[in-house]
Structure 1
Amino acid sequence: MSMPELILIAAVAANRAIGKDNRLLWQIPADMAHFKSLTNGHTVLMGRKTWESLPARFRPLPGRRNLVVSRQADYSAPGAELAPSIESALTLATDAEKIFVIGGEEIYRQTLALAQRLEITEVHQTPDADAWFPEITATDWQETQRNPQEGYAFVTYLRR
């Protein structure tokens, strides 16, 4: 049985910023649509804080299997499956074709080394932030696709 493809998906500023006060830094409708089209029908993996940052009407994210990692044993995330660690979440989803990691910072850090692909919306801003995406190094990652837009670009990286 083959393992699922692990893909990190994020909107990342020029300074690697991804969030502040447990919120996204911008609302780009085309980015939201891009996120939905890529993740729809697949498994999404997120941390507790990312789950809590989703608007209530989008919890769980519709049309996707939602996995939430939380170390709190009594945590409740109705409509999602809970796992105490990244490892156990990935074990739960061994039957998936693709697993999209959707945040936040801590979860991205722990999964970057395991990922085969990155789907990054590069936002041409340098906002104030308190959550960051890990560095995407040219030694590990090769840009294979770039779709420039006004003020941002959709970029795909594959592991070298």
Structure 2
Amino acid sequence: MKITMVAAAAENNALGKDNELVWHLPDDFKRFKAITSHHHIIMGRRTFESFPKLLPNRKHIVITRQREYEKEGVIIVHSLEDALKVSYDQDDVFIIGGGEIYKQAMPYADKIELTRVHDTFDADAYFPEIDESKWKLIQSEYHEKDERHKHDFTYLTYVKSTN
């Protein structure tokens, strides 16, 4: 199984504040959908609760410490390890947040699909630092801000170094 972390983070690694994104990038939403559709997506409970509804064509696996937590159409687990166990038969699984789950997943991840938003934001959730000695940037695609995107951003693809 290949484990990919998918995130959008600002220059200061900000992910969001008060369980919401602090920017709106429609092209990034399209990319996220294209990358994660028809796969298992693993997330923390607060990330899951930030969605207005289940994301179509994906199996939601939600990590929570709340033993009694239940949601229809969702697999509930209580650790990242359990989330990975229920995905054992998948070729690709995607970690989609939030900050604490990304931090826990970093040692397990094989790939990072990061949208770097070229600005800094006040936030209460952050993406972990990417250790350049352990990760190799293999692709970068810059996008200028436009009428639909208030911020410049770059799609970055990292793979775990084998050195």
TM (norm. structure 1) is 0.94
Quote the Cα distance in structure 2 between the aligned partners of 1:51 and 1:78: 12
Q: Is the 8 A contact 1:122 1:155 kept in 2?
A: yes
* Residue 62 in structure 1 maps to residue 67 in structure 2: no
Aligned to 1:26: 23
Within a 5 Å distance, the mapping from 1:1-160 to structure 2 comes to 4-55=1-52, 59-150=53-144, 151-160=152-161
AA partner of residue 105 (structure 1)? G
Gaps of 5+ in 1: none
- Aligned residues: CA RMSD: 0.7
Q: Which runs of 4+ in 1 moved over 4 A?
A: none
- Structure 1 residue 79 displacement after superposition: 1.1
- Structure 1 residue 31 displacement after superposition: 0.2
Quote the Cα distance in structure 1 between the aligned partners of 2:70 and 2:49: 11
Gaps of 5+ in 2: 145-151
- Structure 1 residue 108 displacement after superposition: 0.3
**How many correspondences in the alignment?**
154
- More helix per residue: 1 or 2? 1
- Structure 1 residue 20 displacement after superposition: 0.3
Identity of aligned residues (%): 42
TM (norm. structure 2) is 0.93
